[in-house]
């Protein structure tokens, strides 16, 4: 795949959203907010903040979401899981987020409290899966609801058909869009989308894009979530171990090429996993020819 510049019409049609995770230390907190400050001018449709297994990051997630809502113009979604919690506990969390202004949830089952790879067991007094959680959210209020989708199937699913059946249950229970796990083979996404549409699912299925900050770290993530890492990624990054600027240039090209190719397949929405770092995300968007809102305004004023 090589990069072919997008037309003005293709660029104008692109819509993006960003994902962040709550910081775990003071230096990471500073990095998170510096990244948010840097990315705000890209005018994302929304941003989302992740939520740890069993609610392990509820307090920092709530704090991050509250600050985003209070101090930025960004429409903010909170991730919400149901693993390891009763229905009453889930409803309490929903009420807390709602009280700070959240009206958009990313409804997820969540990883087992024991960690990725452990057998999942629904809480006897809780919601069994994300489909039930989406239905509960719809029953509480008129929330905007996003859910997850897996072009290469969830690691615990029997097969892709079972995975798509679960997605349909989520949508039937009120989900407005699906955000996919990251992938690097656009043919895989396109075949998945064809099966999703054939199943009667019409909501947007937004590709999750992962600009590669660190290839070794990416492989660990991919192993845990069932995404494949093609061998050509190793080939593209070969020989750059001691050349961070070259690695960043290659990572920028890979993500920009993927998005541009998806645009030409009729896709115009993208959910970018920022890893709380703005430089690479911004470089990708600049490579695509998009403009920050501030720069566009400055250009108009100077004309």
Name the pLDDT band for 292 (thresholds 50, 70, 90). very high
Lowest mean pLDDT among 47-61, 147-161, 231-245: 47-61
Counted domains in the chain: 1
Name the pLDDT band for 114 (thresholds 50, 70, 90). low
Is 19 tagged catalytic? yes
The pair of three-digit structure tokens given for residue 183, joined into one six-digit string: 């992938």
Specify the 3-state DSSP secondary structure of 17: strand
What is the C-alpha end-to-end distance of the chain, expressed in Å? 37
- The reported pLDDT for the residue numbered 4 is 86
d(CA 274, CA 39): 10
Specify the 3-state DSSP secondary structure of 188: helix
92's CB contacts (< 8 A; 6+ apart) are none
The alpha carbon torsion through 276, 41, 285, 230 (nearest 10 deg) reads: 20
Give alpha helix (H) positions in the chain: 8-13, 26-39, 58-71, 87-99, 130-140, 160-172, 186-198, 215-225, 231-237, 244-264, 279-287, 293-302
Lowest mean pLDDT among 55-64, 91-100, 141-150, 294-303: 294-303
Q: What is the pLDDT of residues 28-56, one digit of tens each?
A: 999 999 999 999 999 999 999 998 655 55
207 phi/psi in degrees, rounded to 5: -65, 130
- The reported pLDDT for the residue numbered 18 is 98
Kindly name the residue from 19, 132, 152, 257 that is annotated as catalytic: 19
Lowest mean pLDDT among 95-99, 151-155, 188-192, 195-199: 151-155
Task: Give the residue, 119 or 104, on which the prediction is more confident.
Answer: 104
d(CA 56, CA 51): 7
Query: What percentage of the chain's residues is helix, strand, coil (to nearest 5)?
Result: 50, 15, 35
DSSP state of 56: T
Whether 5 maps to a domain, the answer reads no
Contact, 188 vs 208, CB < 8 A? no
Checking if the pLDDT of 145 tops 80, the result is yes
- The reported pLDDT for the residue numbered 119 is 62
Whether 3 maps to a domain, the answer reads no
The residue among 214, 178, 220 whose CA lies nearest residue 199 is 178
- The reported pLDDT for the residue numbered 8 is 95
Contact, 282 vs 38, CB < 8 A? yes
Specify the 3-state DSSP secondary structure of 252: helix
Whether 174 maps to a domain, the answer reads yes
- The CATH number given to whatever domain includes residue 273 is 3.20.20.220
d(CA 66, CA 102): 8
- Secondary structure of 64-130 as H, E, C letters: HHHHHHHHCCCCEEEEEECCCCCHHHHHHHHHHHHHCCCCEEEEECCCCCCCCCCCCCCCCCCCCCH
Specify the 3-state DSSP secondary structure of 54: helix
Contact, 46 vs 16, CB < 8 A? no
The pair of three-digit structure tokens given for residue 44, joined into one six-digit string: 């994302």
d(CA 237, CA 102): 40
Q: What is the pLDDT of residues 179-224, one digit of tens each?
A: 999 999 999 999 999 999 999 999 999 999 999 999 999 999 998 8
Checking if the pLDDT of 140 tops 60, the result is yes
d(CA 81, CA 122): 12
Checking if the pLDDT of 113 tops 70, the result is no
User: What is the model's pTM?
Assistant: 0.93
Taking residues 90-95, what's their average pLDDT? Answer: 95
d(CA 231, CA 293): 37
Residue span of the structural domain in which 105 resides? 14-298
Checking if the pLDDT of 106 tops 90, the result is yes
Checking if the pLDDT of 159 tops 70, the result is yes
């Amino acid at each position: 795949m090589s990069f072919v510049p997008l037309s003005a019409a293709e660029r104008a049609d692109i819509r993006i959203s960003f994902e962040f995770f709550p910081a775990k230390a003071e230096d990471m907190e500073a990095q998170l907010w510096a990244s948010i400050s840097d990315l705000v001018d890209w005018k994302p449709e929304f941003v989302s903040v992740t939520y740890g297994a069993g609610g392990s990051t509820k307090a920092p997630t709530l704090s991050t979401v509250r600050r985003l809502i209070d101090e930025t113009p960004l429409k903010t979604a909170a991730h919400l899981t149901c693993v390891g919690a009763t229905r009453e506990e889930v409803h309490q969390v929903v009420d807390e987020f709602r009280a700070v202004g959240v009206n958009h949830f990313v409804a997820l089952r969540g990883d087992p409290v024991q960690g990725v790879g452990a057998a999942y067991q629904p809480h006897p007094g809780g919601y069994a899966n994300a489909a039930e959680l989406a239905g509960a959210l719809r029953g509480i209020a008129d929330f905007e609801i996003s859910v997850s989708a897996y072009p290469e199937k969830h690691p615990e699913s029997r097969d892709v058909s079972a995975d798509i059946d679960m997605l349909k249950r989520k949508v039937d229970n009120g989900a407005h869009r699906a955000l996919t796990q990251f992938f690097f083979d656009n043919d895989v996404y396109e075949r998945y989308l064809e099966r999703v549409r054939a199943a009667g699912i019409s909501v947007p299925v937004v590709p999750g894009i992962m600009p590669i900050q660190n290839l070794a770290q990416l492989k660990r993530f991919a192993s845990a979530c069932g995404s494949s890492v093609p061998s050509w990624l190793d080939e593209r990054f070969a020989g750059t171990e001691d050349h961070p600027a070259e690695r960043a240039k290659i990572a920028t090209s890979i993500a920009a090429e993927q998005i541009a190719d998806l645009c030409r397949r009729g896709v115009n929405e993208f959910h970018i996993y920022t890893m709380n770092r703005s430089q690479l995300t911004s470089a990708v968007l600049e490579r695509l020819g998009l403009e920050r809102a501030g720069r566009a305004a400055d250009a108009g004023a100077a004309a």
